[in-house]
Amino acid sequence: MEDKIKDLIQSWNLLRYEEMPSFELYSDQLISIAEEQMKPFSIIDSYQSVTSSMVNNYVKAKIMPKPVKKKYNKDQLTVLLVISMLKTVFSIGEISEGIELALENKSYAEAYDNFCDLMELSLKGLFLEDFSEKNSFKDPIAIACKCVASKLYVQYTLMNIRKYEDE
């Protein structure tokens, strides 16, 4: 099993903004691309596939831009991918806030490509570089603690940004 996971993570690369389809996508195409990009997350039994209901809910909640004539573009795909990955740890509200923050000074392309770099570095670093050295799977408590600490840090940072904006 370990080799299968290592191979999956090693070969996994998120599509960068410019590599995404340049044509508009229907919902089923959008979901298909999202599912392909989410492969490393599907190794977990509790993984929830991306569904059209989820997409509709993100649009209704105004986290994801509305489709135009039932078609989605690259910007909407990037938002869907970011939500799909981050919702494993963060609430939709926190993700929405993070997306807004990322887009304040950057385009969708810049913000998303930066996210891709960081996500790949994080997953590959944990699963591949530390895999044999630290035997990561033997100490899930340490990893859970790191996850909680990271989440707390993100929440604290978002809270301080909100306070700064309110002043």
The SS3 assignment for 72 reads strand
| Domain total of the chain | 1
Domain that holds residue 57: 2-166
What confidence score (pLDDT) does residue 1 get?
45
What are the average pLDDT values for consecutive 10-residue runs of the chain, which has 167 residues? 78 96 96 93 81 95 94 97 90 91 93 92 77 54 71 80 79
What confidence score (pLDDT) does residue 48 get?
84
Residue 92 to residues 2, 4, 36, 63, 88, Cα–Cα distance (Å): 31, 31, 22, 8, 10
Q: Would you state the structure tokens that stand for residue 2, as one six-digit string?
A: 């370990």
Angle (CA) 66 70 71, round 5°: 85
What confidence score (pLDDT) does residue 136 get?
46
| C-alpha–C-alpha distance, residues 161 and 158, integer Å | 5
44-78 confidence digits (pLDDT tens) = 777 788 999 999 999 999 999 999 999 999 999 99
Indicate the average pLDDT of the chain. 86
This prediction has a pTM of 0.82
